Structures are given as structure tokens and as C-alpha cells.
């Protein structure tokens, strides 16, 4: 990841005759758009987001990201949506192969879970012995230094053996202590923490959520007070994955009323200062997810991470994008497990004298599932490459997270469960035993619709700062709360700030935009890519119109923001999926991508499926029954339970 700690203010518009720069939240407060408390909290989140932006070079910040430019540029930068497969270094491949072998061996021997149905320490230690936990740790500190574009698709592969093990790699390396120490630790902290994190001697977690602080991180209540050479921590954390005694956590807390991150080595057993709050949780059942209670818990002062810009929220926000891509990668592997389970059952189960593999509804489900898998693969490859190139990737990683979690939910219920029927709920069936694991990712790394609004906010922020904030400040300076363009006094007060917007509006209205320079593609995939590119390039006027209509009340129009955000995301998914498939010499991938793009386009247009579509999706389903999906060739299917016929 490319980081740049120099300040870049190239996206800020200033006018000498205006009031001092202020945040959108501050302007909203003064014009009556928000309560003082909400404006303060929103401003804190905005500041944290701005500080994360400044960690990246200007050309890699959100305003220059592919998703942002696809909407606001005059001409879509197709090259930014192109990604290429990357071969890991030989030593990294060995770690990955050995890790898969460890998990496969334990699975086949029946030792992957202990008597409590948890991943036992023996498995975690065996994985540490082959280097699994150090994949994302730099070689200078005992890790493999794997590129993220190699790590993310590897999680898909690991998830086809065991999704929980794949998820733990993400918790440890992406959102646990590895990324905060690697990105924000000083050299002494890196030398002290990273070797143990790389070896697996200290597995890690990130303690952010609290009983009152989830999506609203400004509601933090856990505090740390400096006493001599230690901090004393008091407070409670909730829903912390991978936390047990003896692990290392990144702890987000308040120090002098400012969010901060302390790296904490938890003691080997609970005591009066450190206790775990245990609760029943349906999801994450094969690992530990617990609360933590701190009472004057001592943490050395030198364990404080100090970002060069911002505070602890900057650190907390930084690693989330890695975890979001990892979640999508895990979904791609989990859905492969579903397909590997559906295929033998579809060929075995007979109704009215014919296997259900020959039934159109089952074939359609299989074809749809293949499309979801290909789209996830495409998003993972694209997003992980952007991160390695130095992009912040916030908008793109949000798309991957929302899509990956939502389609895994759909695949589990609408495709997998319905194909297996009532046996899905038998003890020992993969669906019944894991249904909560399939649904919970919709909440992990940020609930989907909340993230969708964050995506929309990032999409409109620069446009609002450039055109709408100057108007708001001019209104504020003139004491105008309800502007009326027909009022000469209002028109005069706004004369300077309206001109730039008017120029932009006319350019969008009559200027026209160039056709996207797409690569050589099959006609069907090219049609999808052109559709997505055209819709993205048409969207600025609609987006700006929504901003103009709702103005400072836009933040309260959550339903409109969510709907418009989802449409933009779907255009990006269509573009990314079609380009990804076009680069593969595999007709099954081409067909699956075509089905996915058709499905999304119908969702966007409201049109009914055609007979041509039904022929295409059922043909794809039959090809999958015949063994056409190469990526599941080595995936072990679960046992078919309780046959209907007498044995």
C-alpha cells in the first residue's frame, strides 16, 4: 500500500471574500439543517475520513478513484476498471499451499473442531507453523509480505475448505492488530509486535464496537487515563471476534476525550482488571466472539499508536477496506461450497421419474449462482489490485462488501436451501448448521444500507464542496435561510457562487461525452459494459439534482440516498464483471457474467425476463451439472443426508 503523509489540498476551493472554510455539518448546523449534537458527531466522522484521505497520495484519493471518476469525469476511464491476475511469489505460494494442506488434513481427520465445536489451538498453531498468520506481515518482521491481490483471492480458495479459517486470516491480518501496527506503528512497535503476530504466537483482534457505539463511532465510552508510564483502561467492548486470553488487540478508546488506539497484549487468563463477557451468539460459532470488560487495566504508554494525521478513528477507518474485500472473497468461496453441494444432490434427487438436475428451476438457480460467484471474483481481483497500486479504494471496497454479503445471503436462501428442500434443516446439513454464518456478513464491516449511504456521501462530497458549500456560506453570510432566485437581493448575494455551478450544469446538459474505449470483448459482454458506462456518465445531473432538491436535508433523505447509491453500485458491478469475464478464456465464465449482468439490468429497468434469458440461464445450469465450472472441481461436497429411498 502506498502511503503519503504530505498534505495535499488540491481538492479545496477557497474564495477570499467568503467566510472561513467549514465542514458541511457546520454549515448545516448554522442554517438549521442539523441539531448541534448531530452536527458535532458528523463533523468528527468527516474529520476522521479527511485524515484517512490525506494518508494517500493525491492521485489515489477518493476523488481520483475509479468509481468516483466513472461518474464525474467527462469520459469513463475504462483502464481503471481493468485488472489482471497476479501470480504470488514462490515462497508465498508455498505458505498458501501448506496452509490449505493443514486445514484439509485436519478436516479429513475430524480434528478441525474441538469438543466445543471451536477451531482448536492445535489447528491455529499448525497454521502458524507454515506461515499462515504472517501472510500480510512484511518480511522484515518475520512474515511473507504477500501482495493483497494475492492474499484476497487466496481467501476464496481457503474458504472452499473452511470459511471460518479464511475469516480468521482476515480478522487477524486486515482488521486486527496487523494492519494498525504495520501502517501506524513506529519502528520499535513494529519490532516488538509484528514478529509474534506473524508467527501466530499472538493472534489478534480489533476492539472497536461498544454497547452504545456501533455505526456511530463518536459514541465511544471506553477511556484510558495516563498514570505514570501506563494507561489505565476502563470500559466495555462488545462483539469482538477472535478475542480470548493471551491475544493481542487494537483497542479504540478515548484519551483526553480524543479517540486513540492502544495495542494491548491481553493476559493469559482473566483477572480483576480484564474479564470476558460471554453471550450466546448464533453466528461465528466455530470461533470466539465475546465482550471485554476493562477495570483499571494497565497498558504501557509506549503501546499508543500515533498517526501523523488525525486520531484513533483514522486508524480504525484505515483497515476496514481490506476487511471488506476479504469478506467478498470469503463469500466467493462459500458460494462455491454451496454449488459443490447442490450439484450431486440435483443429480441424485428424482421427482416424477426425472432428476431435478434436468428441471429448469434448478438449472436457473445454478446459473444464477455461477453469475454471483464470477461477479465476486471480479470485484475481489479489481479491488485488491487497486489497494496494491496505492488507491484508498473506499468506494470500490464498499461495493465489494455490500455485494458479497448480500449475494451470499441470496445464494443461501433462494438457491441453496430451496434446492435441498426440507433436509436443509437437518442437523449436520451445511445450510442448517451454518445459516447464521451466511446471513451475518450483511452486518460485518458495516451494515449494507449504512455503507451504501457512506458510498453516496463519498460520491457527492467533492461536488458538494466545490459547488454547494460556497452557496451555503454565501446564504449564511447574507442571513438568507430560504433562498428565492426571483428576489433581486438573493440573486445578487449568490451571483458569484452560482456562476461556477451554472457553467458545470450547462456543460453536462449540452456538452456530450465520449464513448468508452472498451477492449475487445464478445458482443454480449460489450453490450453490458457499454450500458454500465453510459449510465454512469449520465448520472451526474440526477445526483446533482437530488443534492439541489434536498440541499442540507439530504442527510435525512436516507431512502433516496440508499436507492441512488445502489443504482450506481450496480452499474459499477456490471462494468467490472463484464470486463473481468472478457479477460478470461472460459465460456462458462463468459456465460455466467452475461447472466449476472442481465439480472442486474432487469433489476434496474424493471423489465421481465425474456425466453432468450431463460434459455441462456438453464443452458448454463446444465453445463454446470456436466462439470463445466472448473473452479469447483476440487471442492469437496458435503454428505447427502437421509435418502428418501429405503436402503
Answer yes or no: are the C-beta atoms of 183 and 194 closer than 8 Å: no
120-134: average pLDDT: 98
Q: Residue 335: is its pLDDT beyond 60?
A: yes
How would DSSP label each residue in 148-208? HHHHHHHHHHHHTT-HHHHHHHHIIIIISSHHHHHHH--HHHHHHHHHHHHHTSS-EEEE-
At 647, the pLDDT band (50, 70, 90 cuts) reads very low
Q: Residue 634: is its pLDDT beyond 80?
A: yes
C-alpha closest to that of 436 among 454, 410, 409, 458: 409
* pLDDT tens digit sequence for 288-328: 999 999 999 999 999 999 988 778 888 888 888 999 999 99
Average pLDDT, the chain: 90
First to last CA, the chain: 58
What residues have CB less than 8 Å from 596, skipping those under 6 apart? 368, 371, 372, 374, 375, 577
Answer yes or no: are the C-beta atoms of 172 and 241 closer than 8 Å: no
Identify the DSSP state of 444: T
State the CATH class of domain 202-305: mainly beta
At 554, the pLDDT band (50, 70, 90 cuts) reads confident
Answer yes or no: are the C-beta atoms of 392 and 61 closer than 8 Å: yes
Distance CA 282, CA 381 (A): 31
Residue 213, pLDDT score = 78
Question: Can you say whether the dihedral through the CA atoms of 623, 625, 627, 632 is positive or negative?
Answer: positive
Answer yes or no: are the C-beta atoms of 224 and 252 closer than 8 Å: no
423-440: average pLDDT: 92
* pLDDT tens digit sequence for 485-516: 788 888 888 888 889 999 999 999 998 899 99
Mapped onto helix, strand or coil, the DSSP state of residue 596 is helix
Q: Backbone dihedral region of 636: left (phi > 0), alpha (psi from -120 to 50 degrees) or beta? A: beta
At 47, the pLDDT band (50, 70, 90 cuts) reads confident
C-alpha closest to that of 231 among 208, 275, 263: 263
Helix (H) or strand (E) holding 294: strand 289-300
At 53, the pLDDT band (50, 70, 90 cuts) reads confident
Q: Residue 32: is its pLDDT beyond 80?
A: no
b/e sequence 140-177, b meaning 16+ C-beta within 10 Å: ebebbbbbbbbbbbbbbbbbbbbbbbbbbbbbbbbbbb
Q: What percent of the chain has pLDDT above 90? A: 76
Task: Tell me the range of 14-23, 109-118, 419-428, 462-471 where mean pLDDT is highest.
Answer: 109-118
At 44, the pLDDT band (50, 70, 90 cuts) reads low
At 484, the pLDDT band (50, 70, 90 cuts) reads confident
Residue 22, pLDDT score = 47
Q: Residue 19: is its pLDDT beyond 50?
A: no
Alpha carbon of 642 to those of 181, 427, 430, 634: distances in Å? 50, 11, 14, 24
| The model scores a pTM over 0.85 | yes
Domain layout of the chain by residue ranges: 202-305
Residue 313, pLDDT score = 83
Using the structure block, give the residue that is written with the C-alpha cell 507454515: 130
Q: Residue 20: is its pLDDT beyond 60?
A: no
Instruction: Between 16 and 371, name the one with better pLDDT.
Output: 371
Distance CA 388, CA 507 (A): 35
Instruction: Between 620 and 316, name the one with better pLDDT.
Output: 620
Residue 40, pLDDT score = 59
Q: Residue 436: is its pLDDT beyond 50?
A: yes
Secondary-structure breakdown of the chain: helix, strand, coil percentages, each rounded to the nearest 5: 60, 10, 30
Residue 102, pLDDT score = 98
Q: Residue 77: is its pLDDT beyond 90?
A: yes
* pLDDT tens digit sequence for 166-217: 999 999 999 899 999 999 999 999 999 999 999 999 999 999 999 987 777 7
Q: Residue 266: is its pLDDT beyond 80?
A: yes
Question: Can you say whether the dihedral through the CA atoms of 61, 503, 13, 8 is positive or negative?
Answer: positive
Neighbours of 502 (CB within 10 A): 10
Amino acid at each position: 500500500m502506498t502511503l503519503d503523509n504530505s498534505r495535499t489540498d488540491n481538492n479545496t476551493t477557497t474564495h477570499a471574500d467568503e467566510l472561513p472554510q467549514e465542514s458541511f455539518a457546520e454549515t448545516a448546523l448554522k442554517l438549521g439543517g442539523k441539531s448541534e449534537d448531530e452536527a458535532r458527531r458528523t463533523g468528527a466522522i468527516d474529520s476522521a475520513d479527511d485524515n484517512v484521505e490525506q494518508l494517500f497520495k493525491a492521485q489515489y484519493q477518493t476523488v481520483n478513484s475509479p468509481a468516483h471518476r466513472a461518474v464525474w469525469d467527462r469520459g469513463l476511464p475504462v483502464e481503471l476498471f481493468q485488472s489482471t491476475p497476479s501470480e504470488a511469489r514462490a515462497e508465498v505460494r508455498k505458505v498458501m499451499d501448506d496452509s490449505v494442506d493443514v486445514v484439509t488434513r485436519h478436516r479429513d481427520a475430524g480434528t478441525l473442531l474441538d469438543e466445543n465445536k471451536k477451531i482448536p489451538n492445535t489447528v491455529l498453531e499448525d497454521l502458524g507453523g507454515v506461515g499462515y498468520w504472517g501472510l500480510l506481515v512484511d518480511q522484515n518482521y518475520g512474515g511473507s509480505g504477500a501482495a493483497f491481490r494475492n492474499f484476497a483471492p487466496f481467501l476464496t480458495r481457503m474458504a472452499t475448505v473452511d470459511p471460518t479459517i479464511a475469516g480468521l486470516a482476515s480478522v487477524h491480518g486486515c482488521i486486527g492488530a496487523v494492519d494498525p501496527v504495520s501502517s501506524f506503528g513506529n519502528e520499535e512497535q513494529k519490532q516488538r509486535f509484528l514478529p509474534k503476530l506473524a508467527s501466530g504466537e499472538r493472534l489478534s483482534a480489533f476492539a472497536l464496537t461498544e454497547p452504545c457505539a456501533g455505526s456511530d463511532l463518536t459514541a465511544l465510552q471506553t477511556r484510558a487515563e495516563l498514570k505514570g508510564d501506563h494507561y489505565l483502561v476502563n470500559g466495555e467492548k462488545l462483539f469482538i471476534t477472535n478475542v480470548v486470553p493471551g491475544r493481542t488487540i487494537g483497542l479504540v478508546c478515548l484519551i483526553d476525550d480524543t479517540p486513540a488506539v492502544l495495542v494491548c497484549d491481553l493476559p493469559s487468563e482473566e483477572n480483576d482488571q480484564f474479564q470476558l463477557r460471554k453471550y450466546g451468539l448464533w453466528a461465528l460459532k466455530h470461533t470466539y466472539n465475546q465482550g471485554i470488560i476493562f477495570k483499571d487495566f494497565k497498558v504501557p504508554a509506549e503501546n499508543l499508536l500515533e498517526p501523523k494525521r488525525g486520531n484513533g478513528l483514522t486508524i480504525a477507518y484505515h483497515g476496514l477496506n481490506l476487511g471488506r474485500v476479504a469478506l467478498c472473497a470469503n463469500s466467493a468461496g462459500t458460494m462455491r461450497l454451496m454449488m459443490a453441494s447442490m450439484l450431486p444432490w440435483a443429480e441424485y434427487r428424482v421427482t416424477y421419474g426425472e432428476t431435478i438436475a434436468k428441471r429448469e428451476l434448478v438449472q436457473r438457480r445454478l446459473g444464477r449462482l455461477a453469475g454471483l460467484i464470477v461477479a465476486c471474483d471480479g470485484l475481489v481481483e479489481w479491488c485488491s489490485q487497486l489497494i496494491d497500486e496505492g488507491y484508498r479504494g473506499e468506494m470500490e471496497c464498499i461495493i465489494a462488501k455490500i455485494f458479497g454479503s448480500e449475494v451470499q445471503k441470496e445464494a443461501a436462501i433462494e438457491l441453496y436451501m430451496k434446492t435441498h428442500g426440507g433436509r436443509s434443516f437437518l442437523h449436520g446439513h451445511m445450510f442448517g448448521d451454518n445459516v447464521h454464518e451466511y446471513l451475518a456478513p450483511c452486518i460485518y464491516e458495516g451494515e449494507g444500507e449504512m455503507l451504501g449511504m457512506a458510498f453516496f456521501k463519498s460520491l457527492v462530497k467533492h461536488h458538494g464542496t466545490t459547488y454547494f458549500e460556497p452557496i451555503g456560506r454565501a446564504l449564511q453570510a447574507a442571513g438568507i435561510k430560504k433562498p428565492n432566485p426571483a428576489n433581486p437581493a438573493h440573486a445578487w448575494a449568490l451571483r458569484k457562487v452560482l456562476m461556477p455551478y451554472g457553467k458545470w450544469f450547462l456543460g453536462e446538459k449540452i456538452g456530450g461525452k465520449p464513448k468508452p474505449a472498451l477492449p475487445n470483448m464478445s458482443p454480449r459482454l460489450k453490450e453490458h459494459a457499454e450500458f454500465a458506462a453510459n449510465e454512469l456518465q449520465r448520472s451526474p445531473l440526477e445526483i446533482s439534482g437530488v443534492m439541489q432538491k434536498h440541499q442540507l436535508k439530504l442527510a435525512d433523505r436516507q431512502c433516496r440516498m440508499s436507492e441512488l447509491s445502489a443504482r450506481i453500485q450496480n452499474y459499477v458491478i456490471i462494468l467490472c464483471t463484464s470486463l473481468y469475464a472478457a479477460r478470461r478464456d472460459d465460456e462458462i465464465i463468459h456465460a455466467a457474467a452475461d447472466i449476472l449482468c442481465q439480472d442486474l439490468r432487469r433489476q434496474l429497468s424493471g423489465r421481465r425476463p425474456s425466453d432468450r434469458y431463460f434459455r441462456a440461464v438453464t443452458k448454463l445450469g446444465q453445463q454446470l451439472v456436466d462439470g463445466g465450472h472448473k473452479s469447483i472441481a476440487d471442492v469437496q461436497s458435503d454428505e447427502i443426508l437421509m435418502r428418501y429411498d429405503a436402503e
